[in-house]
């Protein structure tokens, strides 16, 4: 009797990203597309990273870009338009009429949802809602609404957000990123071996996945 070949082992992909990072938004969509386009099973693990852990007050994204880069309003809009075009090419909602804010609580909520197998779903719900302009990351109520929309209990979400739970999980992710030499995001490690700093094309993600799966 002929034995059925064993299914190939899944390639683990670890990626560090911040919810409000537009390049992470585009990069993660490309990474998912690459993972879905091939025959190699993939386990995607998303880790927390804060681009601005010291941000105290919510801020309109164009105001933040002007302040951070010393740019005019028009230059800030040009920065936004560039990444907005890339996002829309991937079918992602994108609005420059959004507010950026400290993301630590949102990352804590995602860590809590991960224990119920809903981490990626809650992350995507918050991220897409933020870039579409209707999820206010500074609001616990808005974050809880986003979590509930993908199946996470709203009362449980509010309980996490109103506590300090899962702070250690977020800090551990950020510590690991520093140990790996990540100075910005997205930062992706495929198979625990090959690192991809920054946002690359879908084809490049796919090539690295195939190389790792082949043992190269």
The rounded distance, in Å, linking the Cα atoms of 162 and 212 is 41
Running DSSP on this structure, what letter comes out for residue 69?
H
The half-sphere exposure of 60 on its side-chain side, counting CA atoms within 13 A, is 8
- Summarised one tens digit per residue, pLDDT across range 194-209 is 999 999 999 999 999 9
pLDDT in tens, 66-123: 999 999 999 999 999 999 999 999 999 999 999 999 999 999 999 999 999 999 999 9
Question: What kind of architecture, by CATH, is found in domain 11-213?
Answer: 3-Layer(aba) Sandwich (3.40)
pTM over the 0.85 mark: yes
pLDDT tens digits, residue range 154-184? 999 999 999 999 999 999 999 999 999 998 9
Break the chain into its structural domains and give their ranges.
Answer: 11-213
Measured between alpha carbons, how far is 116 from 173 in angstroms, rounded to an integer?
Answer: 19
Q: Is 19 left (phi over 0), alpha (psi -120 to 50) or beta?
A: alpha
């Amino acid at each position: 009797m002929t034995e059925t070949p064993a299914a190939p082992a899944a390639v683990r992909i670890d990626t560090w990203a911040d919810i409000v990072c537009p390049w992470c938004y585009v990069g993660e969509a490309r990474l998912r597309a690459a993972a879905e386009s091939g025959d190699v099973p993939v386990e995607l693990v998303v880790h927390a990273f804060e681009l601005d852990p010291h941000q105290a007050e919510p801020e309109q994204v164009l105001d933040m870009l002007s302040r951070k880069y010393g740019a005019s309003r028009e230059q800030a809009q040009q920065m936004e338009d560039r990444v907005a075009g890339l996002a829309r090419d991937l079918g992602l909602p994108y609005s420059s009429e959004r507010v950026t804010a400290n993301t630590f609580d949102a990352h804590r909520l995602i860590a809590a949802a991960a224990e119920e197998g809903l981490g990626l779903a809650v992350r995507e719900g918050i991220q897409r809602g933020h870039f579409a302009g209707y999820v206010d990351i500074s609001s616990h109520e808005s974050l809880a609404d986003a979590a509930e929309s993908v199946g996470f209990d709203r009362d449980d979400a509010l309980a996490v957000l109103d506590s300090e739970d899962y702070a250690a999980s977020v800090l551990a992710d950020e510590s690991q990123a520093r140990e790996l030499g990540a100075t910005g995001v997205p930062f992706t490690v495929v198979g625990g071996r090959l690192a991809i700093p920054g946002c690359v094309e879908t084809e490049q993600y796919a090539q690295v996945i195939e190389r790792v799966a082949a043992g190269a």
